Structure 1
Amino acid sequence: MNIISYLHPIRTYVPCTGAGRHINNTLLGLASQQNINLELLFSHQWLQADGKLDPRSPLRDIPLNTFPLPENLTERLWKLTQFPKMDKYLPANTDWLFTPMETYIPVSRCPVAVTIYDIQAFETDLPWSNTRQHRWFRYKWSQWIYKALANYRVIFTISEFSKRRMIELLGADENKIVIVGCGVEQQFYDIASINPVELERPVNNPYTFVIGGLRLRKGADFVLDVAKGLLNANSDIQIVVAGDSEPEYVAAAKDLPNLKLLGLVADSDLPRLMRCASSLLFLSHYEGFGIPAIEAMATGTPSVVSNRASLPEVVGTAGIVVEPEDTTTIVDTLIQLQENSQLREDYSRRGQEHAKYYTWSRCVDLVQKAFYEYI
C-alpha cells in the first residue's frame, strides 16, 4: 500500500507536544511496515541544505515529496477555495493521502484520512470559550472542518470523548470515525524498575508532578489553589511543574515557596521526573486524550486527574479522578499518596497494568487496519 502523508514539519521537531509525538510515532510506525510504502508531502520551504527535514525531526529519513508554494498561503487557499488541487504532487500509484493533523487538503486522485485530536474550538462552556481569541479560533476551524468531515473517507481520533463530541457538535458520521488512542514510549515503562532513590531529583522534598506548564487550559488556577492548600495543611509536598507557563501564573507562583517551575524540559528527562514523584497532578480543563496520565502510570507513579473531557475515560479505575475545584479533597489525596505506602503501591500497580494497553504499536496497527478496511 502506498501512502502519502501531508504534514507541518515544525510540529514534528523534538521536544514536541502530545500531538507532535502522535504524528512522529504513527508515521515512523507506518514507515517500518513491510507492506506499506510511506512518503511525506510538505512545502519546499522546510527543506534543509541537505535536501532533508531539519535534524530535529525524527522523520527526516522518510522519503519525501514537496510542493513549491508557501505552507500558510497554500492552506488558506485550500480551506477557503478548495484550490489548488494537490493531485499533481501525488505519485500516480498513491492509495491514500493521510494527514495526521487537523487540516483540509483538496485532492481527487485517492481517498483521504485525517487525524483530529479534539474539537476544543467548538466547545462553548470552557473558561475561555467566549474570548475574542477563541471565537476567532472557532471561526477559522469552521472554514474547513465541515468539508473534511464530509469529504474525507476516514477520521482518526484519539478517544471516545473526542469521537462523541464530533458527532454531537458537528454532526459527524460516526461510521467514518476510527479511535486509535495514544501510546507511551518504552523509556517510561523501563524506568519503572529503577528505585527512585537512585535517580536525580528536581527537589529534595517529596513532590507531585505537573506537566504542561501553568496555563489556563491545563488548570493553572486549580494547581495554585492546591499549592496554597498544601501550605495550609503544613505538608512538605512540593509541586514541580514542567512546561511553558503563562506570564500571569509565573508571577503568582513566585509567592508560593512550595511551587517550582522547571520550564521546558527535554523529553528524555520526563520519565525520571515522573518516576521520582509521589503522584502526577493533571487538573486540565480539556484534553482530547491526556498522554501524561498514562506516561505517569507506566513509570509506576499514581495519576490524579480532573473529571473533565477525556481524562476519566483514559485513566479508568487505575487513576484517581477528582473535581478540580475541590481543593481540600485533592490536597488530602496527595498527602495520602505520599504518606500511605500501601495506597501508593496499589495505584502504582494498577496504573502499570493499565498502561500496558497504550502502546504506539497498537495505534499504528489500528491506523493500518483502517487503511485496508476503508480503501
Structure 2
Amino acid sequence: MRRLVSIGSIAFDATLWDEPTTGIGLYTRCLAGALEARGVSLEKLGARDSGDHPRGNGGRTAWTLARLPKLLERSRPALYHALGNFNLPLTRVPGTAYVLTVLDLIPLIMPDTVSAKFRWQFRLWLSRSLLLADQVLCISARTRDDLLERFPEVASRAVVVPIGVDHVNAPVLDATSADYLRSLALPKDYVLYAGSLDVRKNVDLVLDAMERLRAQGRPASLVLAGQSWFGSGRVESRIARLRAEGHDIRPLGYQAEPVFYELMRRAALFVFPSRYEGFGLPPLEAMRLGTPAIVSTAGSLPEVCGDAALAVRPDDAEGLAESIHRLLRSPEERRAFAERGRARAAEFTWKRTAEGTLAAYEAALRR
C-alpha cells in the first residue's frame, strides 16, 4: 500500500460534500473515503452540515473567500486540496501547499450553458487559483489538454488522475423503493438517459432519435432520470409535447442512488450523447452494471469509454436512432457490449484515484 511521506494534516475541501445531486459531491466523498482507507488524515472543511468545520446555511463562495483563509491560518495544515474546479483561497497561507482539482472547463468551452454570473466567476477565480496551485489534478487527458490550451503556463504542474467507478454496485432496494419501481410498470427493453436536462447533455438528440424511430415504425420506450438544470426548460417543454403526441417517454426526475442504479441496471441500453464532458461518469456507471452504452464522440467520452461503447457524433440523430435500434433488436450484441463494458469499467477504481492524488500531494509538498 502506498503511503505518504510524513507531512502532517491535510485540509480537504468539503463544500459540496452534502450535495447529493452534484458530480463534485460524489467525487469529494469517494476520494475522501479512498484516501482515508490508505491512512491519510483529512480535515474536512466547509460542508453544509457535516465535517470538521461546517459552514451552515452560508454560501460556498462567501465561506471560501472569507472564512476558509482564517481556518487555514489557525490550523496551518501542510496542504489544502480544493476540489471544485477553481475554488482555492485568493491568497497564499504561509506553510500550506495548494492542490486544485479541475474536472472540466465547461464555462469557458460552452459559455452559453451556464449563467453569465457563473461564467465570469469561473474565469476570474480559476485564473487566480492556477497562479497559486502547487499541483493541478485533471480528471482526464481531455480536461488537461483543454486547460493547457488556455493556460499553458501550468503544464509542469498539471497531472491526469482519472476518477473511479467502483462506488457502483448492484443496488439493494428497500421495500418503498421496490414498490416505487413496480408502480412505474416499465417495459422490458427501455432506453435510459440519466443526467441533468441541460443543453450541454444533448438530450434533444435522444428525442430526435425517438421521433425518427417512431416515424419509421420502430418505436422505443425512453426513460429519463435526472434533475432540471440551467436552460432545461425548453427540453422539458419538448418532452411534454412528445408525450402528448403518444411517445412513450417517461421523465422521472432526480432519483436517489438505489433507484437510480436499479433503473440503470434494468435498462436494455443507456444513451449519453453529451456535447462535452470532462470525464463522463454516467456511461461508465452503466457499463459497470452491465448495461451497454451509446455515447457521443465529443469531449472525454471516447477516452473514458474506449471501444466498450458504441459512439455517434453529437449531431447525428439518424446514427443514434440506428444504434438504438441495432442494439434493441440484438440481445447477443447487447451481451457482448455488456461484457466489454464491465471490463472497461473495472479499470477505473477509487484506489487508483487515491494513489494518483497522493503522488500529487507529495509533488506539491516538494515545491
- Tell me the TM-score normalised to structure 1 length: 0.82
- Mapped contact 2:166–2:346 kept (Cα < 8 A): no
Q: Please give the alpha-carbon distance, in whole angstroms, between the structure 1 residues aligned to 2:214 and 2:54.
A: 55
Match of 1:173 among 134, 154, 172: 154
Q: Please give the alpha-carbon distance, in whole angstroms, between the structure 1 residues aligned to 2:69 and 2:291.
A: 49
Structure 1 unmatched runs, 5+: 48-52, 54-59, 192-198
1:38 aligns to 2:28 (yes or no): no
Match of 2:22 among 17, 29, 32: 17
Any idea what the Cα deviations from partners look like across 1:225-246, whole Å, max 9, x if unmatched?
Answer: 1121121122242110001132
Secondary structure, counterpart of 1:249 in structure 2: helix
Alignment of 1:276-315 (within 5 A): 276-315=266-305
Alignment of 1:298-337 (within 5 A): 298-337=288-327
Q: Please give the alpha-carbon distance, in whole angstroms, between the structure 2 residues aligned to 1:158 and 1:308.
A: 16
Any idea what the Cα deviations from partners look like across 1:238-283, whole Å, max 9, x if unmatched?
Answer: 1100011323222211232221101110111222111211111001
Shift of 1:6: 2.8
Shift of 1:74: 4.5
- Mapped contact 2:265–2:290 kept (Cα < 8 A): yes
Distance of aligned partners of 1:76 and 1:87 in 2 relative to their CA distance in 1, 3 Å threshold: closer
User: Which residue pairs with 1:264 in the alignment?
Assistant: 254
Structure 2 unmatched runs, 5+: 1-6, 173-180
- Mapped contact 1:229–1:331 kept (Cα < 8 A): yes
Shift of 1:342: 2.1
Distance of aligned partners of 1:249 and 1:182 in 2 relative to their CA distance in 1, 3 Å threshold: same
User: Which residue pairs with 1:254 in the alignment?
Assistant: 240
Distance of aligned partners of 1:18 and 1:66 in 2 relative to their CA distance in 1, 3 Å threshold: closer
1:223 aligns to 2:215 (yes or no): no
Q: Please give the alpha-carbon distance, in whole angstroms, between the structure 2 residues aligned to 1:370 and 1:67.
A: 27
Q: Please give the alpha-carbon distance, in whole angstroms, between the structure 2 residues aligned to 1:122 and 1:171.
A: 15
- Mapped contact 2:188–2:268 kept (Cα < 8 A): no
Q: Which amino acid is the alignment partner of residue 129 of structure 2?
A: A
Q: Which amino acid is the alignment partner of residue 99 of structure 1?
A: A
1:88 aligns to 2:73 (yes or no): yes
Match of 2:331 among 335, 341, 349: 341
Q: Please give the alpha-carbon distance, in whole angstroms, between the structure 1 residues aligned to 2:261 and 2:112.
A: 37
Secondary structure, counterpart of 1:188 in structure 2: coil
Distance of aligned partners of 1:70 and 1:269 in 2 relative to their CA distance in 1, 3 Å threshold: closer
Alignment of 1:344-359 (within 5 A): 344-359=334-349
Q: Please give the alpha-carbon distance, in whole angstroms, between the structure 1 residues aligned to 2:239 and 2:266.
A: 22
- Mapped contact 2:168–2:288 kept (Cα < 8 A): no
Q: Which amino acid is the alignment partner of residue 329 of structure 1?
A: G
- Mapped contact 1:119–1:162 kept (Cα < 8 A): yes
Q: Please give the alpha-carbon distance, in whole angstroms, between the structure 2 residues aligned to 1:216 and 1:30.
A: 35
Secondary structure, counterpart of 1:144 in structure 2: helix
Q: Please give the alpha-carbon distance, in whole angstroms, between the structure 2 residues aligned to 1:67 and 1:258.
A: 44
User: Which residue pairs with 1:212 in the alignment?
Assistant: 195
1:73 aligns to 2:62 (yes or no): yes
Q: Percent identity?
A: 25
Q: Please give the alpha-carbon distance, in whole angstroms, between the structure 2 residues aligned to 1:15 and 1:134.
A: 22
- Give the root-mean-square deviation of aligned CA atoms: 2.6
Q: Please give the alpha-carbon distance, in whole angstroms, between the structure 1 residues aligned to 2:196 and 2:121.
A: 26
- Mapped contact 2:99–2:364 kept (Cα < 8 A): no
1:146 aligns to 2:127 (yes or no): yes
